[in-house]
Structure 1
Amino acid sequence: MGISIKSILDYFSGKPKSLFLLDGLGAALTAFSLFFVVRPYHDYVGMPANMLTYLSAFGLVYSVYSMSCCFFLKGCWTPYLRIIGISNSLYCLLIMTMLYAYSNSLTPLGLAYFLVEILIIGLLVYLELSVANRLMAKKTD
């Protein structure tokens, strides 16, 4: 008996604050890893150090936003979930654009890192927007 998508959506629909916490911690991990782990070894990933700095700044901003929502919001989760879901989608598009722009210098390690990041964030976007839709539907019932 595995964990189903429905059970995950049920859990986060009942505890949207936890979804913001998950997003905030993930964004903080992204910011940290890009700035302190990947950036010093930018030659091994094939992405310029300044681009990795910019990407880590996005992670930091998203982390502050999600953590603020987690700790300060008391309800009305839907618009804030949509904002972070759409923002995360745009971040994935930015990464894809950068993968294209730096495709000549990108290493297999760099490509793997960013594709895994896109996959994880894409799953998070699905959760955020699905939970937002569920909460909106529950509100109109």
Structure 2
Amino acid sequence: MNRIFEKLTGHLAKNPGRLFLIDSAGALLTAVLLSAVLSNLSPYIGMPKTTLDLLFSIAACFCFYSAACFLFLKAKWALYIRLISFANLLYCALTIAFLFIHYNKLTILDLMYFLAETAIICLLVYTELNVAGKILNKR
């Protein structure tokens, strides 16, 4: 498994724009799920609509940021990868905080969705930081 991860991060370090494309696509998926699916189901789930709207807004901003980096960035890849990785970590921390704040109202589906999303984003952050490190070590 470690060899696969090393190969993946090596490939992404050579093509850092693809990492931003992956991040942008993930943020877009999150935004769509929050706005189109969970927001419409808010009467049936425990997470308040205002919280879902806030998380949607953040995910949409991350989508645009990563898409702009993919389209326009030509240098200083590691800096911008680190910025989005730390932003993603803050998003995860905010999501976990909301899980604690609204725990008594949440359904099992809420918990499963937000914990799975957080786990996936944390894997992405780990990958992003490894790629940024490889880019910096190439200098």
Provide the TM-score with structure 1 as the length reference.
Answer: 0.94
Matched-pair contact (CA < 8 Å) for 1:45–1:108: no
SS in 2 for 1:41: coil
What is the alpha-carbon root mean square deviation over aligned residues?
1.5
Letter in 2 for 1:17: G
**Large movers: runs of 4+ above 6 Å:** none
The answer for unaligned runs of 5 or more in structure 1 is none
1:84 correspondence with 2:46: no
SS in 2 for 1:61: helix
1:4 correspondence with 2:7: no
Cα distance in 2, alignment partners of residues 69 and 2 from structure 1: 28
SS in 1 for 2:75: coil
The number of residue pairs the alignment matches comes to: 139
1:66 correspondence with 2:71: no
Letter in 2 for 1:66: S
Q: Which residue of 2 aligns with 1:57?
A: 57
Q: Which residue of 2 aligns with 1:122?
A: 122
Matched-pair contact (CA < 8 Å) for 1:44–1:109: no
SS in 2 for 1:124: helix
1:48 correspondence with 2:65: no
Cα distance in 2, alignment partners of residues 85 and 7 from structure 1: 20
The answer for unaligned runs of 5 or more in structure 2 is none
Cα distance in 1, alignment partners of residues 13 and 44 from structure 2: 40
Q: Which residue of 2 aligns with 1:29?
A: 29
Q: What is the identity percentage for the equivalent residue pairs of Structure 1 and Structure 2?
A: 40
Matched-pair contact (CA < 8 Å) for 2:10–2:134: no
Letter in 2 for 1:40: N
SS in 1 for 2:43: helix
Q: 1:75 to 1:89 in 2, by over 3 A?
A: same
Deviations 1:42-85 (A, max 9, x none): 23331001110110000000000000000000121011000000
Matched-pair contact (CA < 8 Å) for 1:34–1:56: yes
Matched-pair contact (CA < 8 Å) for 1:45–1:111: no
